[in-house]
Structure 1
Amino acid sequence: MKYILVTGGVISGIGKGIIASSIGTILRSNGFRVTSIKIDPYINIDAGTFSPYEHGEVFVLDDGGEVDLDLGNYERFLDITLHRDNNITTGKIYQSVIDKERRGDYLGKTVQVVPHITDAIQEWVERVACISVDDDKTTPDICIVELGGTIGDIESMPFVEAFRQFQFRVKRDNFCLVHVSLVPQPSATKEHKTKPTQHSVKELRGHGLSPDLVRKILFSSNKNNSFDSLFLSCVKIFCRCATQMPLAAKEKVAMFCQVEKEHVICIPDVKTLYRVPILLQETGVFNFLSARLGLTLKCNYDQSMMIKWRELIERSERQLEEVVIALVGKYTALEDAYASVLKALNHAALFCNRKLNIRFVHASDLEANKKKEDPVKYHEAWQQLCSAHGVIIPGGFGSRGVEGKIAAIEWARTQSKPFLGICLGLQCAVIEFARHVLQYKGANSSEFDKVEHQVVIEMPEHNTGTMGGTMRLGRRTTHFVTDDSILKKLYGNVDTIDERHRHRYEVNPKYVEEFEKAGMKFVGHSDDNQRMEILELDNHPYFVAVQYHPEYISRPLKPTAPYLGLIWAACGELKNVLTHVTKEPTTPDIGNKSHDIFSHVTLFQRA
């Protein structure tokens, strides 16, 4: 097993996840089986209880793991299926060590950070690196480990020490370090400032992840070894900056960080993240990694992966015709709070040959009381919503902004505007229909209010005593109960689909018959036929809501059906597309990967 450790310096959020994913993409394109691990040094057990404003969205895996959003990048870029143990937190490590101590595994010993915590980290990495992430269940060749945060953070110290030991544990030829650092460019001087990167690498070396330790060993045992060439084989520096770094700046980083300028790689801001793997490939990253780790090029590897990436980039950068989607949510101040939703929309728009324009509309600004409090914001929000081609209501929790979401859904329903509801979006669509079609005044969810008509209720098995990991999580099967369904056609006329869930409330079963008599059809049910998974509205161009989160398994080259339907409907092309859907039932890959729309739908090309 080969290991690539990706660390960051100067600031967090520098793009380590994208760099790690891009390196993995390059390795995958050369025939290597790749897995990824994300380390988050916070004490939380998982990301399930985080505020979206602090860490962005919570990404959900097939096995129900609530993890960091970077694992979503790994799955999308590498087209693999990860597991909850691929996300390591300080809380998980300490919990495992404390459990061992309580069982008596350390009888007679004092449990300490070194060696017990650091050993637990190394053992966890080695164990998870061997877990298959592909359909053929083969063991990965290379594991890319991203260490969250920045070098120098006090909470990261046990992990840094663990990897200082780990490089000797797995042997030097199997371990490579990639450091990603910020090179700021002040607007006053326009000069690339390399000092933060110099200090970051100095900090890294001070903790033992540097050539200094190796240098002393080699100089004492073999004076003929070159320090410079050895250092080059240990560390590669990626510099994030707004514009391309001049040669002088690269030389300064090389000189003070003791690395040749050819191994200082500048990653300037790009129009699309899909260009990053191509950018890294052109800088010779694979040649460096293959020489450093002794990788043997696969004989029969498929080179089409990078060709598809290039085609994807070209298509994304030449789009002229625009599709405007209004995203109505409560966390609109931070795009990362809806990272997977935005990427799924983008995947679908690319497939439909459209340039995506997302308008973030804060749900609270659509509420009636806002008209008195701040009429400017109220009218601006409604103008943004009404001028969009389609509307999406993503998932969320809590009562704030719910009335605004319901108002947006009523407008989309009555104005025949393409609409997609995700999780809470489905529940709000049910509430809106109950209030304005069934005339159940005050109908609501038990999450928000205890009223007579609770059309959305808490699932009976939900454990209210504990918050973390108690929802209905992970991959579940949905059964189509009718052939007269837009989504069933978009999924390729299959009878069942597997999608990832994250919710603790459901549609109240006792109201389902009344809803369906009034025209709201629940076309997808759970395994036990009790939970409503998909709803569609009669006599509407596209009014669809799902209880699951299809964005979690959307891929750049495999857009997911509900999002694809929204974009096609927003472009006015859905009816034409549906005529090209295979009429006979097919059996696509609906396991761990996204449903392959390409197998079932003929792309409608505009003249």
Structure 2
Amino acid sequence: MKYILVTGGVISGVGKGVISSSFGTILKSCGIEVTSIKIDPYINLDAGTFSPYEHGEVFVLDDGGEVDLDLGNYERFLNIILHRDNNITTGKIYQNVIDRERRGDYLGRTVQVVPHITDEIQEWVERVAQIPVSVEGKPPEVCIIELGGTIGDIESMAFVEAFRQFQFRVKRDNICVAHVSLVPQPRSTGEHKTKPTQSSVRELRGLGLSPDIIVCRSEKPFGQSVKDKISNFCHVNPEQIISIPDLSSIYEVPVFMDNHGMIEYLNDRLNLGISSFAQSRQNMKKWRNLVERINHLKYSVSVAVVGKYTQLEDSYASLIKALHHAGNHLGYKVVVDFIEASNLERETLNVDPASYHDSWGQLCRSECVIVPGGFGKRGVEGKIEACRWCRENNKPFLGICLGFQAAVIEFARNVIKLEGAHSSECVESTPHPVIIDMPEHNTGQMGGTMRLGKRTTVFKKEYDSKIRRLYGLEEEIEERHRHRFEVNPKYIDKLEKLGLQFVGVDTDKKRMEILELENHPYYVAVQFHPEYLSRPLAPSPPFVGLILSAKSRLKSFIAKGLKLSPQTQSDYESEDDLDHLTAKMSMNESDSSSAYSSSSIP
């Protein structure tokens, strides 16, 4: 087994996750099976109890693991299926060691950070690195480990020490250290400053790890003289330093690294035995074509996201990426407008009139709307109002998780006329609890108790639904879930009689998974999170349908029998194919998003 350890310096959030994913992408292009591990030095057992403002979105895996959003990057870039143990936290490590101490595994010895905690870290990495993660189930050959945070943080000291020991445990030829550092360029001087990188590398070396590769992040590219300076003070050759400036898309990073000879260096450093670099370049063609498509998008589509955590874009990281996957594939640049759900609420006292009217104006001007997931009652009324407006004005709409539940509440109130209908999560005493909790998933304990992970959804054959056609007329699909509340079975017949069709259910036919409104261009909501399984080269069908409908292309798309699912993704191999697609999708394109007058605002 070969290992690549990715560390970070100067500041956090410098792009270690994308760079780690890019290492894996270029290795996979050479036919090498890759797995990934993300280390988070916090004491929480997992990311499940985090506020989205604290750490960005919580990414959910097939096995129900609630993990850091960087694991989403790994899965999307590498097309692999990771497991909860691929995310290591300080809490997990200490819990394992304490459990072993309670069982008497240490035979009365004093349990210490060194060697017991550091040994546990090394054993965990070696064990998880062997678990197959590829779709084909092949054993990994290279494990990429991202150490979260910044070198020098007190929280990560035990992990740094563990890897200092680990490099001797697995031998030098089997481990490569890549250090990602920021090289700022102050406007006052316009000169790239290398001192922060020098200090960061000096600290890393002082802790016993010497970087083999220094990845320098900067706003703009820098020249050879800056590389020579870093080389001189950081004890690495200039060819071991790669400067990655801000690029047009994160999907350009693996192509950029490949163009700068990264695979040749890794082959020499880790003795990977790659014989044909020409073949790897050929295998990277899909990524190169993807970058070309993104850089040459001629048309745009505006999407309003009515959310609860709109102040931090990372709160909806997978959602935004899924939108871009669909837009890139169809030839549209996606422009996302975040709308704070609370601002749409007429009765909210702390919303000033300007914010209220600005938010409704944004919603009216958008070409399509997404109401995503969330927890708690704040902003729910705004989400319900957005659902009502989309239903009444034939605006293409996609509801996800809480957005699915908001759509049910809105329909119950305004179509069935069930006054006071609500979710028991928000109003326990509601006279019409159309959304109720699932007792087996509401134990009162926080963390890991929801309905989590991949579940099967079965399509009802009696409905000729748009969403099923987008999934390629499959009888059943598998998507990832993260929720604790569901549609109350007592109200399903009433809802369906007046046109709210539950076209997808769970395998027991008790839980509603997908709803679709008849006589509407595209009014679809799902209880699961389709964004988790969206891939750059295989966009998620619900998002594809939303964008097609926003551009009045969905009917023709379905009429031609075209299908698009994660399993059946057509891949455009050349720019000519892209031009043909764009021309086809944009032919006689009408402006279906004409701005509504202010009188349409409630």
**How high is the TM-score relative to the length of structure 2?**
0.93
Which residue number in structure 2 is paired with residue 161 of structure 1?
161
Residue 216 of structure 1 is matched in structure 2 by none
Residue 125 of structure 1 corresponds to 125
The answer to whether 1:412 aligns with 2:384 is no
Aligned equivalent of 2:151: 151
Say yes or no: does 1:492 pair with 2:478: no
Alignment of 1:572-587 (within 5 A): 572-581=552-561
Q: Which amino acid aligns with 2:177?
A: L
Which aligned pairs between 1:25-424 and structure 2 lie closer than 5 A? 25-210=25-210, 235-297=212-274, 304-370=282-348, 373-424=351-402
Task: In structure 2, give the amino acid aligned to 1:406.
Answer: I
**What secondary structure is seen at the aligned counterpart in 2 of 1:559?**
coil
Give the deviation of 1:534 after TM superposition: 0.1
Q: Residue 530 of structure 2 contacts residue 540 of structure 2 at CA under 8 Å; is this kept in 1?
A: yes
Contact in 2 for aligned 1:31/1:301 (Cα 8 Å): no
Inter-partner Cα distance in structure 1 for 2:531 and 2:279: 29
Q: Which runs of 4+ in 1 moved over 4 A?
A: 298-304, 370-373
- Please tell me whether residue 523 in structure 1 is matched to residue 503 in structure 2: yes
How far apart in 2 are the matches of 1:61 and 1:113?
30
- Distance of aligned partners of 1:310 and 1:117 in 2 relative to their CA distance in 1, 3 Å threshold: same
Superposed CA deviations along residues 138-191 of structure 1, whole A, max 9, x for unmatched, are: 210100000000000001000000000000000110000000001111121111
Task: Please name the residue that 2:596 is paired with.
Answer: none
C-alpha displacement of 1:258: 1.0
Match of 2:595 in 1: none
In the TM superposition, what is the alpha-carbon distance from 1:298 to its structure 2 partner? Answer: 5.9
CA–CA distance in 2 between the matches of 1:373 and 1:546?
29
Q: How many Å apart are 1:370 and its aligned residue?
A: 4.9
Task: Measure, in 2, the Cα distance between the counterparts of 1:113 and 1:301.
Answer: 46
**SS of the residue 1:533 aligns to:** strand
Cα 1:357–1:199 shift into 2, 3 Å: same
State how far apart, in whole Å, the 2-side matches of 1:134 and 1:298 are.
22
2:576 maps to which residue? none
Equivalent AA in structure 1 for residue 441 of structure 2:
H
Q: How far 1:304 sits from its partner (Å)?
A: 4.9
The 2-side partners of 1:480 and 1:581 are apart by 18
- Native 8 Å contact 2:61 2:82 kept in 1: yes
Which one-letter code corresponds to 1:170 in the other structure?
V
The answer as to 2:408 corresponding to 1:436 is no
Correspondence for 2:436? 457
**1:363-407 Cα deviation digits (max 9, x unpaired):** 111110358841111111011110000000111101111111111
Aligned twin of 1:596: 568
What is aligned with 2:594?
none
SS in 1 for 2:347: helix
Q: Give aligned-pair identity as a percent.
A: 62
Distance 2:245 2:215 in 1: 10
Where 1:357 maps in the other structure, the secondary structure is strand
CA distance, structure 1, for counterparts of residue 232 and residue 275 of structure 2? 36
Q: Distance in 1 between matches of 2:149 and 2:230?
A: 22
Q: Report whether the alignment pairs 1:554 with 2:534.
A: yes
- Take 2:301 and 2:137, find their aligned partners in 1: how far apart are those partners? 40
Deviation at 1:247, TM superposition (A): 2.2
Question: Separation in 2 of the partners of 1:197 and 1:45?
Answer: 32
- Could you tell which deviates more after superposition, 238-247 or 200-209? 238-247
**Separation in structure 1 between the aligned mates of residue 346 and residue 414 of structure 2, nearest angstrom:** 16
Distance, in Å, in 2 between the alignment partners of 1:252 and 1:155 is 31
SS at the partner of 2:570? helix
Could you report, residue by residue, the CA deviation over 1:471-508 in whole angstroms, capped at 9, with x for unpaired residues?
A: 00000000001241111101010100000000000000
Structure 1: distance between partners of 2:535 and 2:67: 18
Aligned residue identity for 2:258: Q
1:595 deviates by 3.7
**How far apart, CA to CA, are the structure 2 residues paired with 1:353 and 1:458?**
41
User: Bigger CA drift: 458-467 or 20-29?
Assistant: 458-467
1:545 aligns with 2:525: yes
> Which consecutive unaligned segments of at least 5 residues does structure 2 have?
572-579, 588-602
**Aligned counterparts of 2:408 and 2:567: Cα–Cα separation in 1:** 27
* Offset, 1:303: 5.5
Moved more, 79-88 or 291-300: 291-300
Equivalent residues of 1:185, 1:193 under 8 A apart: yes
Question: Are 1:568 and 2:548 matched, yes or no?
Answer: yes
CA drift at 1:252: 1.4
Question: Is this contact kept in 1: 2:458–2:476, CA < 8 A?
Answer: yes
Judging changes above 3 Å, is the alpha-carbon distance between structure 1 residues 304 and 576 closer, same or farther for their aligned structure 2 residues? farther
SS at match of 1:274: helix
Q: Does 1:476 align with 2:455?
A: yes
Tell me the CA shift for residue 464 of structure 1: 2.9
Q: What's the CA shift string for 1:235-292, capped at 9, x where partnerless? A: 1101100001122222211111011222211110011111100110111111110000
8 Å CA contact retained: 1:416, 1:541: yes
User: For the structure 1 residues 547 and 298, does the alpha-carbon distance in structure 2 shift closer, same or farther, using more than 3 Å as the test?
Assistant: farther
Quickly say closer, same or farther: Cα 1:127–1:382, change in 2 above 3 A: same
Q: CA 1:305–1:535 in 2, change beyond 3 Å: closer, same or farther?
A: farther
Q: Which amino acid aligns with 2:492?
A: V
Question: Take 2:140 and 2:344, find their aligned partners in 1: how far apart are those partners?
Answer: 49
State the 1:442 CA deviation: 1.3
Q: Which amino acid aligns with 1:341?
A: L
Which digits, 9 at most, give the CA deviation of each residue in 1:306-362, with x for residues without a partner? 101111111111112110000000111111000000000000011111011000111
Q: Which amino acid aligns with 2:302?
A: V
| CA positional deviation for 1:465 | 2.3
Kindly indicate whether the alpha-carbon contact (under 8 Å) linking 1:426 and 1:545 is maintained by their aligned counterparts in 2.
yes
User: C-alpha distance in 1, partners of 2:350/2:30?
Assistant: 60
Q: 1:473 is paired with a residue of what secondary structure? A: strand
The structure-2 alpha-carbon separation of the partners of 1:387 and 1:27, relative to structure 1 and needing over 3 Å to count, comes to: same
2:229 alignment partner, SS class? helix
Contact 1:31 1:298 in 2 (8 A): no
Give CA deviations for 1:54-75 in whole Å, capped at 9, x if unaligned: 1100000000000000000000
Map of 1:231 onto structure 2: none
- Partner amino acid, structure 1, of 2:229: K
CA distance in 2, matches of 1:192, 1:250: 10
